[in-house]
Structure formats: structure tokens, C-alpha cells
Amino acid sequence: MVDAAITPSTPNLPTHLVPSPTDGVKGRLGQVEYRQGYSEQLEFLESGSVDLVTSGQAAHWFDYPRFWKELTRVVRPGGSVCLYGYPDFFLPDFPSTRTLLNKFALKDGQGPGSPRLPSDVQVDSIGEFWEQPGRSIINQGLSPVPFPTSYHELASFWDDSSAFKRTFSTTGLEKDQIWSSWPPLTTSPLECDLAKEVKEEFEGKHEETTMDKYLNWDQLASYLRTWSATHTYLTQHPDDKEKNGGKDVVDRFLQQLREEVKRANGGKEVEQLHLRWPLCFVMIKKKKK
């Protein structure tokens, strides 16, 4: 298991997870060995030794030609690859907030949303402070990620009939709030060649197939401050808070968001918010022989 989050210097790591100083960024948890590394460099894995490769919220940063070349080497015949991630969250209980969220998180508010903000409503955006093209790829539901069959020298190793991309968790979004670039919704029939029970898992509405979280306003503020774009914005605007009455870019945005939620809730305050993230999948199997 490759895990870039675990290193010998990772703070507050349980003792049994701390990699040995003599063994570099490597450790063991029960029968699971973990290492820090790069998806394009898996030299510690033998050729044809891996049954399943998964990647969570990371595939938008890969060097795809090198990544697929390395997976062609390490994945055994008949093995599988599942890449998944999630674009920006939305509030399914308050669809009218979609535009505010887009204005804050996306450069120039690009992306679906309704209704448009009145011209007198201004939102300080952190959108241009994301590292690209990675953020754009994940916000498009991983749709720009190529399959290994896109590369002539690799295509013969992979089962093109098993390849598919899907987006889940759009329940609560208005039709015009869904990115046209996202892979087909789960209500679209699967055309790929998969086992019946697997196809059933990916067909239909599957409203339960969501990534959801309930946060209060302070927790939401803390979450937004973990965003790399927020960190970059505040680093480049060290006097942001001082210039804006003691409120930084997150404080100002949440004040606007809170006002819109209250308006959409009939003038009543809401103390806990339901957040939902669309889940996007890219999957393919290697040919058995």
C-alpha cells in the first residue's frame, strides 16, 4: 500500500505505525505493509503481483502515461484498477447556495449553478489559488483521466470492454447545477462487460451511494481552512484579516453563506449543515491473458 501521508516524521502517529528509521518510509500494520512513494514508481512491487490498485482523491495529480505504464507492469492478468475522488461539496438541502459555493471555490465562479448571483453580490474567491491542472481534473469528475487503452503500446494488455467512468451522489443538485463534463450519472445503463452483481451496484439511482457529512458552522470553517487554495490565498494576502474588519476570506464567505441558508430556510437559522460530495469513479480490468 502506497501512502504519501505516512512518514517517519508524521505527528501523533501511533507507535505501531511509525516507520523504522532504518527502513525509510516503510512500515507494517498487521499483515499490511505500507510505504510512501509515487504512483509512477512502484519498484518495490514485483511484476504481475497486484490484484487490485485503488486511488482515493489522488488520481488528478498523476502523470498518466507513466502511471499506466507502471500499472501495466505490476497488475496481474485479470487484475483491476479503481480510481475515485470527489469534486467540491454542495448543500443538498439548500440548492440556491450552489452559486455562492462556486463563486468562492472556482475561478470566476466557473461551473454550474442557479440562480445567478445579483450583480451587487460580491464573493471573494480562492478559485485562482488552486494548483492546476489537478483541481480542474477532479472538478470534472475525473473525466479527463485517460484509460490505458489510450496508449498504443499499452492497449493490448487491458480489457477495453470493462472500462467505465461514473459519477454518484448528485441527489440534491438541480439539473442545471450538474457539470456537463462529469461522467454519466448512475441512471445511465452500463455498456461495459461486468459481472451482473457488479453492474447492479453501479446502475439505478443509488441515493445511498453518497459521501455525506454533517458539520456546524465552526467545523465548516475549519474544513475550508484545510484547503490548499485557502492556505495559498492567506499566504499571499497576509493582511487580509486586518483589512477586512478582523474577518478573513473564510469568515466573509461563511457570513454570506449563512445569510443565504437562513433566507432559503424561511428566515430561520440553521446550526448544522448537510454536506454532500459527488463521488467519481474510473475503473478498468486487465486482460486475463
Write the pLDDT tens digit of every residue in 126-135.
999 999 999 9
- Please choose, from the candidates 104, 33, 115, the residue with its C-alpha nearest in 3D space to the C-alpha of residue 252: 104
CA distance linking residue 226 with residue 257, whole number of Å: 18
Task: Please report the pLDDT score of residue 2 as a whole number.
Answer: 39
Provide the whole-model pTM: 0.83
Is residue 87 within 8 A of residue 143, CB to CB? The reply is no
Sign of the alpha-carbon dihedral angle for 146, 151, 154, 158: positive
Is residue 287 within 8 A of residue 75, CB to CB? The reply is no
Retrieve residue 53's grid coordinates.
490498485
Tell me the sheet residues that pair with 279.
Answer: 168
Is residue 94 within 8 A of residue 169, CB to CB? The reply is no
Q: Is the pLDDT of residue 24 over 50?
A: no
Beta pairing, strands 32-35 & 75-85: unpaired
Q: Is the pLDDT of residue 7 over 60?
A: no
pLDDT tens track for 164-215: 898 888 888 888 888 888 888 765 666 667 777 777 766 665 555 678 999 9
CATH top-level class of 15-286: alpha beta
Helix, strand, coil % (nearest 5) of the chain? 35, 20, 45
Q: Is the pLDDT of residue 4 over 70?
A: no
The torsion angles phi and psi of 96, rounded to 5 degrees, stand at -70, -15
Is residue 115 within 8 A of residue 96, CB to CB? The reply is yes
Mean pLDDT of the chain: 85
CB atoms within 10 A of CB 136: 16
Name the DSSP class of 186: T
CA distance linking residue 162 with residue 157, whole number of Å: 12
Q: Between these two residues, 267 and 14, which has the higher pLDDT value?
A: 267
